[in-house]
Amino acid sequence: MRGSVALLNEKQIAVKLKSVKGWKRNGSEIIRTFSLKDFARAMGFAQSVALLAEKMDHHPDIDIRWNKVTLVLSTHSEGGLTEKDFFLAVQINSLL
């Protein structure tokens, strides 16, 4: 999904947020922390996210702390949340 970069309005964000289990809004971003079994699985998950992100040309901020991977999505070029963020969140959720 490379198009569709218009900022979403508050109502659209509220609706989209309901479709991405586990993600929370933090201002102009959505964030989720995934807990995995161990560090190796956390790194494998982060690598899978990286491959998805590269394919979409839409890259999350990734923080890895042993078995926890925190992902932050926002469309920086647009200054907020767009369809791209929620589409990638759905794809990331499907990895687990």
| Mean pLDDT in residue range 65-75 | 97
pLDDT of residue 1: 47
User: Which tens digits make up the pLDDT trace of 13-68?
Assistant: 999 999 999 999 999 999 999 999 999 999 999 999 999 999 999 999 999 999 99
Inter-CA distances, 29 with 8, 41, 80, Å = 12, 25, 7
- List of domains in the chain: 10-93 (3.30.1360.20)
Strands (DSSP E) contained in the chain are: 24-26, 29-35, 61-65, 68-73
Phi-psi region of 52 (alpha: psi -120 to 50; beta: other; left: phi over 0): alpha
pLDDT of residue 5: 80
pLDDT of residue 67: 98
